[in-house]
Amino acid sequence: MATDTETGARALAVEIQGLEVSTYDGRPILHAIDLTVPRGQVLGLAGETGSGKSTLGLAMMGHYRPGLRRSSGSVVVSGHDLALLSMGALRRLRGNEIAYVPQDPVMALNPALRVREAFSEAAGAHQLATADADARLVRLLQKVGLPHDQAFLKRYPHELSGGQQQRLAIAIGFALEPSVVVMDEPTTGLDSPTKLAVMALVRELSESVGASVVVISHDLRMLMAFTDRMIVMCEGRIVDDAASSALEREATHAYTRRLLAALPDPLAHRSRRESGSGAVAANALEVRQLRASYSGIEITHSIEFDLAWGTCLALVGESGSGKTTLARCVAGFHHEFKGEVHWNGERLSARVGRRTPEQLAGVQYVSQNPFSALNPRRSVGASLAAGARLSGGLPAKAAAAEARHMLERVGLQTEHFDRMPRELSGGQRQRVALARALLARPTLLVCDEVTSSLDVSVQAEIVALLQRLQREEQLSMLFITHDLALVSSIADRVMVLKEGSCVEQGPVQQVLEHPRAEYSKRLLALNRTIADERMDRESAHAGGPAAYHTTRAVHVPADPASGLPRVSG
């Protein structure tokens, strides 16, 4: 007969006691972490960049980044103390019992392997029969919303969109139905429909096979909506531990309350005065009949819009809607298009190399991937100073001073000036990329998902910075995002794109509160679904301590007409 202790141990998927992680020279990274994850629980790990959440997630895999070591404490997964396992036993445990889905899907996908081969490699490493692997591959691709036809299975990772790469990495992570899955920022950069579908899948898999899932994320709203319990970390310590639905009410630490206060307000547009009311402002940007193509295949269809000086137009839509292609046409990085783009009354060449110096400085593009703006062989300061010299004609000393000043304006310290890009976090790199663009003193800023990888407090700071620049310098912005709450906070107008066509555009309050297009209504309904999930968990939590561990699975079937998950209402 099993003892109470043995029964309790079997009920835990992960048990961490007194875990301390430090650098080899003794600098502490994690401080005396005590944490248990019951079987079947979906746990959210929240905190800003540098809080230690990713280090803790990797420790559950028995892995520590170069330069780090476990200095004390234990990590037990499915009854196995990871520190006592041989390397061979640890490798067998990974995949079979615990899987890891990294933040950057490129890290999880071999660029030389096609979709089918990548999945088969993961299955073959753990002796899964080919027929079983194929059947499981098709089933998982369907669940994560990816095609499963032969053409898709033969694609390489570079032929997939960022969202498709992320969903494929998640499917591979769940390939062997492990007991524990650690997911590092699984929804970063995904549009709302895909984000909802991915997290609904996470809950469904967790509850159907009894898997525990640890979701590491800076997206507090998503964690509160779709996880059972949340851990908030700050400087390597756990500062709050609460039921996800009750975190806003029960947060005890000032750090957690600050993170919650920094969340963008989805109703912010109601208190913002519409720009340009009562007068017609001169336009910073005019786009007419823009039809962009790839290899002769039309991607965007006769797009037209105006952007007034000092205002922000948000482009929203799911992955593949054409919003990034449209933004790259404006910036001059995608020249295969017909139609006209006018900035400051001047027609812009489709090719960035044929634009005047004034046009190049006036229209600045900040991409979702900050590495595209940074030379990996140059320090941050060298890259920024070079930009200041090029755009402003400043001597070296003045350019360096201007670069340091701009670092401070985007929320970084002067100590970051001499660091290499690889030494910065993802959020820090994005802020450097933004600083580089702002050094050109642009009048039009094209922002492609620039806040998607940032912590909520940093996101709020960047949004506040952009809003201040709008006020002080009449900066105009084309802002691509999938975060509708962010649209409400920063945009004056919004354009909704679907399959390369504009289905609706207008003042942000009109579109968000009284959408006309069915597709717009579905996008907004998906956003409300996330809020509804939170309310469901709040109701479950009110029923008792155990209730929030057994909440219902969320099944979101696809709507054939729109390609979005079908949502009632």
Residue 565 has pLDDT above 50, yes or no: no
Residue 44 has pLDDT above 80, yes or no: yes
Q: Label residue 419 exposed, middle or buried (CB < 10 Å: 0-12, 13-18, 19+).
A: middle
Residue 279 has pLDDT above 80, yes or no: no
Q: What is residue 529's predicted lDDT score, i.e. its pLDDT?
A: 63
Q: How far is CA 351 from CA 276, 299, 304, 338, 340, in A?
A: 32, 18, 19, 12, 12
Identify the three-state secondary structure at position 479: strand
Residue 210 has pLDDT above 90, yes or no: no
Q: What is residue 411's predicted lDDT score, i.e. its pLDDT?
A: 79
Mean pLDDT of the chain: 82
Give the β-pairing of 42-46 and 212-216. parallel
**Angstrom distance (rounded) from CA 127 to CA 122:** 9
Secondary structure (DSSP) of 90-111: HHHHHHHTEEEE-SSHHHHS-T
**In sequence order, what are the beta bridge partners of 448?**
480
> Over the stretch 340-387, which tens digit does the pLDDT of each residue have?
999 988 999 999 889 998 899 899 998 877 776 688 889 999 999 888
Q: What is residue 536's predicted lDDT score, i.e. its pLDDT?
A: 58
* Average confidence (pLDDT) over 1-26: 75
Give me 546's structure tokens: 């155990």
Identify the three-state secondary structure at position 158: helix
The full set of domains in the chain, from first to last, is 268-516 (3.40.50.300)
Q: What is residue 561's predicted lDDT score, i.e. its pLDDT?
A: 39
This prediction has a pTM of 0.61
pLDDT greater at residue 364 or residue 107: 364
Q: What is residue 530's predicted lDDT score, i.e. its pLDDT?
A: 59
262 φ/ψ angles, rounded to the nearest 5 degrees: -85, -5
CA neighbor of 285 nearest in space, from 315, 302, 310, 316? 310
What HEC string does 344-388 produce? CCEECCCCHHHCCHHHHHHEEEECCCHHHHCCCCCCHHHHHHHHH
**Angstrom distance (rounded) from CA 176 to CA 136:** 9
> Over the stretch 27-37, which tens digit does the pLDDT of each residue have?
999 999 999 99
* Average confidence (pLDDT) over 74-92: 93
Q: What is residue 471's predicted lDDT score, i.e. its pLDDT?
A: 78
**Confidence at 537, pLDDT banded by 50, 70, 90:** low
Are the C-beta atoms of 256 and 239 separated by less than 8 Å? yes
Are the C-beta atoms of 206 and 227 separated by less than 8 Å? no
* Average confidence (pLDDT) over 251-265: 84
Q: Which residue has the tokens 């004609």?
A: 393
Q: What is residue 273's predicted lDDT score, i.e. its pLDDT?
A: 45
**Angstrom distance (rounded) from CA 184 to CA 100:** 8
Q: What is residue 98's predicted lDDT score, i.e. its pLDDT?
A: 92
